[in-house]
Amino acid sequence: MMIVRLFCVAVLALLISACAVTQVNLKHGMVQGDLSKPYAKVYFIRPFTEHPMGFSDNDLAVDVDGKRLMSLTKGEYTLVYLKPRDITITMTIPAQVRGRWEVTDMSQSRRFNLEPGQTYYINARLLDGEFRGARFIPTAMSRHEAQQAVRHLRAVGDAVSVPVS
């Protein structure tokens, strides 16, 4: 009976983890819902890591100008239509820093100037601080780099109908 319970718990955990998917907050103030108005196409890309990274494998919080835009899952990329202007993108992930038991949020921010009609490719670049904890840095990519980066990733959201080409 105990083996059946453990099996059921393991299957449930696997199903829940398989359901993790990038979620975009379409009510964010920077999302351009009306595409007849100026917008910038912004692809957010989160590559796989070479090996399991513990806390760094969790969903990555992506904030734009201090407000949560999405949670970005490892191995996925998505497209968001944003209002063109200067923005700050912050990526936050929980991490455990060596020598301490508690989990702390590690964040990194970058400013981007979004111009109307332009396409941007923002990569969640992993900076493995090993003993200092891992964090992700929002990094601009060229179109060619993005094409290479998404070859084995899963497109979600608007990127399904408008993939990186």
- pLDDT tens per residue, range 81-101: 999 999 999 999 887 776 667
Residue 158 has pLDDT above 80, yes or no: yes
CB 25 within 8 A of CB 78: no
- Report the alpha-carbon distance of residue 35 to residue 31 in Å, rounded: 10
What pTM was estimated for this model as a whole? 0.84
Q: Which helix (H) or strand (E) holds 52?
A: none
pLDDT at 85: 97
Confidence of residue 102 (pLDDT cuts 50, 70, 90): confident
Domain ranges of the chain: 20-157
Contact 118, 140 (CB under 8 A): no
- Residue 20, Cβ density class (10 Å: 0-12 exposed, 13-18 middle, ≥19 buried): middle
